[in-house]
Structure 1
């Protein structure tokens, strides 16, 4: 290819992993006219998962994609607040979201259903999604970056690696394999229909077709969150509890009803009834591990960048893991647009510098939110029920990552020129 032809062709972006980070990056890159190939190791789009929450900071991204909001609305949860109760079912307080309305719109629903809408939108804007394409190797030089997929070497201008918590790209970027640490907690979680709930007077009210319910029962070192949606036909619940199992990675396995009940032995009968109404094949036992913040998200040649869980796994109590993954995708696309094809390393460095401090600060909230519930003094809580409300932080939720990237890109790029040795400060 001649240099004239090379300079006139669009930026070629290779994206690994079709999670929310990868799909967002792909959509935003296509929006800017880039050639995009997205590699997904699975042979089909998977409908796995249960409830997933997107704050108003990522809700604005969904709303910027034509037609997506309208497709998501019927699938999502629409309660106006969260009722907090003690483990013995004493009402504590109700946290309402009205004050956040001016920040934007939240989208909470089944991961597989929301993912399907985003997947379809990516296809509609021309993203080349290649299934059964497991990446075996990554490579980068001064002029290109790429992957080896099913034995084939494919090169582009940049690789955005959203290959999840077991990321191969992370090992390439770091030069070593970072080991996860036990969080000391595990989660039982389920997505289910509400037929059995309707049969029990204790739980029938949760299947109300006119109201989406959201209830959190709190106890010493345990919390149990329940949400209903889709006109009272679907329910998701999540039970977070202590678990010292020694596992090398976050993993999920079939859960067992009796084991889940044993995690809350002296709790209110309604909590046991919800668990016992769950079809056992819909129950998952998910062990939680975490990683220390990485010292960098970018490769030595600055043409490979980690995005999403590959860069920064979140504890679920942050309620921001998926949202921050989407912010990564938007920010990376903006940086590549503003830098231009001849300055990919600058774009990748700017992406890291723009995103890293915000992600680190948001990750901390996963620990503080969990501890506020799990380490609470319940004598104090009963006297001061408002103390259990979730912090709703405007710097996290009232945030437009696209505008922010456009606003700070130039000064960020200039700062990296004057401080070429800048590195993130990974202190969590």
Structure 2
């Protein structure tokens, strides 16, 4: 969506890279989630904790957070080429090499290729050796981000509460629907997202222009603040949510091309962990490649898969359970049972430290018993 949420499990990594101040400046700082039933009765206030488990969360506009990470990569000397399209992935086991061929015919060779090409990954076919496609989740979201003053949010008594006292975070839950909205940057911008049932089949694109009349139909009979906030958006996106059964592997046959992030394990928005798990993926992989060295890239990737596979699945399931409990809640349901989960196993985790701690044992296990496809508990 428009908001990129990074939990403390990712936040501790980004702070370690020296990015806290830059990220903090572009993120929202609400006191907590005001959760209502669809009629507008407050059923739970879940206080925001900053820091949590010794690290900060960051929630801001996707483009601004991407920009900070992009600039950081350039500062480190990373060569980033925009507008290039991969025509083919390849690996040469005999030479211990892998690479890509670009649409223009240029060939790029490396010790390892990390394919972070999203839920509709082109690399996935090479890694799996068959065409695997995402499937509709049965849900879609409408989402928007806009300037509060330009859209008169402060002038409407039904929306004024979004901008009069700094950043705020509101939610409404009903049968098969939930809506979340927040103000950011001291009430200067508004974002909203509304998740609803959708039986559209798999399309060539996940993102379409939304129709406001369709959005407003979803909240007919709801707290009038919902329609008021939704209708302030000058436009919105209709985003079809797709899911994947767990892939049998994330590693190519010769162990030199790897799927990472949404290409390996797409997340639902209710997990608020898609970006965080991708960062965990990346830092874990970096540690293992450092420890293994160029001569042992396949072992590093196999160890990475073993470390990440179950943890990622547990995080995905948490997002599904959050959606289901909100969508099945009765109007009279109240209290802590409606909270967004903040388990220590997820948020207190230090992916970098963990990778350093467990690599040698996992490497020895792989060398002793050989590589096998990952399994889930």
- The TM-score, its normalising length taken from structure 1, stands at 0.85
Residue 129, structure 1, aligned to residue 80, structure 2: yes
Residue 204, structure 1, aligned to residue 160, structure 2: yes
**How many Å separate the matches in 2 of 1:172 and 1:63?**
35
Q: In structure 2, what is the equivalent of residue 220 of structure 1? A: 175
Q: In structure 1, what is the equivalent of residue 26 of structure 2? A: 75
Q: In structure 2, what is the equivalent of residue 396 of structure 1? A: 346
Q: In structure 2, what is the equivalent of residue 52 of structure 1? A: 4
Q: What are the superposed Cα offsets for residues 66-106 of structure 1, whole Å, 9 maximum, x if unpaired?
A: 2x211111210111211111111101121013386233100
1:170–1:310 CA contact under 8 A, matched in 2:
yes
Q: Deviation at 1:275?
A: 1.0
| Structure 1 gap segments, 5+ residues each | 1-48
Q: Deviation at 1:426?
A: 5.1
Q: In structure 2, what is the equivalent of residue 344 of structure 1? A: 297
**How many Å separate the matches in 1 of 2:325 and 2:26?**
31
Counterpart of 2:196 (choices 229, 236, 241) is 241
Q: In structure 2, what is the equivalent of residue 108 of structure 1? A: 59
The Cα RMSD (Å) is: 1.4
2:174–2:330 CA contact under 8 A, matched in 1:
no
Q: Deviation at 1:250?
A: 6.0
**How many Å separate the matches in 1 of 2:194 and 2:369?**
46
1:250–1:288 CA contact under 8 A, matched in 2:
no
Q: Deviation at 1:162?
A: 0.5
2:173–2:329 CA contact under 8 A, matched in 1:
no
Query: Alignment partner of 2:46: what SS?
Result: strand
Cα distance change, pair 417–249 in 1 and its aligned pair in 2 (3 A): farther
Q: In structure 2, what is the equivalent of residue 370 of structure 1? A: 323
Query: Alignment partner of 1:422: what SS?
Result: coil
Cα distance change, pair 72–123 in 1 and its aligned pair in 2 (3 A): same
Instruction: Report runs of 4+ in structure 1 exceeding 6 Å deviation.
Output: none
Q: What are the superposed Cα offsets for residues 164-184 of structure 1, whole Å, 9 maximum, x if unpaired?
A: 111111110001111222211
Q: What are the superposed Cα offsets for residues 346-372 of structure 1, whole Å, 9 maximum, x if unpaired?
A: 111111111111111111112111101
Q: Deviation at 1:386?
A: 2.6
Counterpart of 1:307 (choices 260, 265, 268) is 260
**How many Å separate the matches in 2 of 1:303 and 1:101?**
37
| Structure 2 gap segments, 5+ residues each | none
**How many Å separate the matches in 2 of 1:370 and 1:159?**
34
Q: In structure 2, what is the equivalent of residue 89 of structure 1? A: 40
Q: Deviation at 1:385?
A: 3.0
Q: How does 1:110-189 map to 2 (within 5 A)?
A: 110-142=61-93, 143-149=96-102, 150-189=104-143
Q: In structure 2, what is the equivalent of residue 325 of structure 1? A: 278
**How many Å separate the matches in 2 of 1:313 and 1:107?**
20
**How many Å separate the matches in 2 of 1:257 and 1:414?**
57
Moved more, 119-128 or 73-82: 73-82
Q: How does 1:289-300 map to 2 (within 5 A)?
A: 289-300=242-253
Residue 415, structure 1, aligned to residue 339, structure 2: no
**How many Å separate the matches in 1 of 2:97 and 2:54?**
40
**How many Å separate the matches in 1 of 2:54 and 2:106?**
46
1:294–1:426 CA contact under 8 A, matched in 2:
no
Q: Deviation at 1:249?
A: 5.8
Q: In structure 2, what is the equivalent of residue 40 of structure 1? A: none
- Number of residue equivalences: 372
Q: What are the superposed Cα offsets for residues 307-327 of structure 1, whole Å, 9 maximum, x if unpaired?
A: 111110011111100000011
Query: Alignment partner of 2:52: what SS?
Result: helix
